[in-house]
Every structure is written in structure tokens, then in C-alpha cells.
Amino acid sequence: MSSPSVLVLRAPGTNCDKETAFAFEQSGGEAQLVHVDELLSSSELLANHQIMCLPGGFSYGDDIASGRILGNKLRKQLAEKLMEFRDAGKLVLGVCNGFQVLMKTGLLDVDDEEGPQATLAWNNSGRYEARWVKLRSRPGNCVLLQGIDSIELPVAHAEGKFLVRDQSALNQLAASGRLVLQYTSAHASPAHSPTLKPAIEYPANPNGASADIAGICDASGRVLGLMPHPERFIFAHQHPTWTRLGTTGVGDGLKLFRNAVAYFR
């Protein structure tokens, strides 16, 4: 079977698009960088791809709020096409700024009759956080996290705190298997039920996210948004301790891209 085609969407301020395309190519995919203006003028481009990725960076300078301008552009002009893309059995990945964009497109199904169940807000520290974090995965039916129990990735964001509206909304997201990725630490034990207050302290939870959430998926399991950057850890030597530990080979982040490509094989 031919390699799945990946549309990596970029916009003014996006700065992780080439690394993301490279990660997909290292996994056997064929990646194409597409500017948002090109997609808006030729929405049929979506039909030519099996995977769409919204990479990290600072789309439109993060003016107003992170990801809001690009998210609103996509929601107002491409909502129907994006839903058709997802419902056709295709995959969508949003990383960091891409996660912020996904939260505003409707593809992650975070809205109900009362409005958004969750959003991404400023880190509790009030500043940009760039550090490595440990993550616990509960993949359920999430395609990109299959076979992953734990993972270590870098984060780099200022507005990455997953903030849930109330406990009822958090319970609904948890019951539907949507809370697929959580910050953890070496001494953490799995919580029996999620609470709005994080169980993991800073800096293991770098932003103060409700229930330590680092990533969520939609109900189908084919759309994933996460704050950490898997494309920045595809080789072992990208980890800061690789010389001390003598690690070689691939990094944890490559697993997500391999899962995406394998889904279409």
C-alpha cells in the first residue's frame, strides 16, 4: 500500500511545521506543507490527504489569544470540510499551538449546550514554560496513543493549562474516555477519579492543568490534541540525558507518528 499523505498546515508564526513533516516522513508518511491561505482557497486539498496536522508555534503571533485567529478562520470557513475529513475515518493531530487551534475548531467536540466544556489558559506560573515532562497515557480508542503507557516529551508554551468548566464537565470527558494524556511524576500514583485540582505539583505539571491533563481526543479517537511536542523527540540524542544514560535509537515522540502511519496500512 502507498504511504499515507499528510497535510501539515502552517500559518504566519507557525515554526514547527518542518520538524513535524520530517517526523511523519521518518515514520513512512508523505508530508506536504500547506499554507492556510492555500487551503482556504482550495479546500479540496483536504480530500487528497489521510492525515492533517496542526503543528506548534505562534500562529498569527498568538494575538488576542493562542490559536484563536487560526482556529476561528478554520471554524468559520472550513468547518463542514473539516468535519467531513474527520468523519471519513481520517486522522487529525494538533500539537501545542495546534492543540489550541483544535480547541476552537469544533473537531475535538468540547462544546455542549452550555458552551465550551474546557479551554486552554495561561500557565499558573504566568510565564512561558520550556521543560521535559513525564506523561501517563490512557489511550482507550485514541489511534495515535495505541501501545503507549508512558512517554516523556518536551513542552514549550505559555497558554497550556487545560482548564475545565466544572466537575460535571470533567466527569463527562473522563467517562467518555477523552482524557487520554496526563502529566505525571516518578512518585505519582494513578488517581481513582479526576478532580479539577491537579494532583501533580509544578514543575511535573508545568501549567496547573485540571486533572493534570496534557492531551485529549475526540469521541472517535481519531482526533488528538496535546500540549507536549512529540516532533521534538524522535531521536534518542534529542533528550538532555542521552549521553549520561547512553541511550540510542528513536525517541518517545516517534511512536505517535508511527501509529498514525500504521493506521492506514
Residues forming the active site: 96, 229, 231
At a CB cut-off of 8 Å and minimum separation 6, what does 230 contact?
23, 95, 153, 252, 253, 254, 255, 256, 257
Q: Which residues lie across from 5 on neighbouring strands?
A: 30
CB 181 within 8 A of CB 145: yes
DSSP sequence for 139-160: -TT-GGGTT-SEEEEEEEESS-
| CA–CA distance, 169 with 132 (Å, rounded to integer) | 29
Please identify which residue in the block is written with the cell numbers 497535510: 7
Q: What is the DSSP string of 31-98?
A: EEEEEHHHHHH-GGGGGG-SEEEE--B-GGGG-SSTTHHHHHHHHHHHHHHHHHHHHTT-EEEEETHH
Give the relative orientation of helices 17-26 and 254-263 as an angle to the nearest 10 degrees.
Answer: 60
Q: What is the CA radius of gyration of the chain?
A: 17
Kindly give, in sequence order, each residue whose CB lies less than 8 Å from that of residue 175, ignoring residues fewer than 6 positions away. Answer: none
Element spanning 116, H or E: strand 115-116
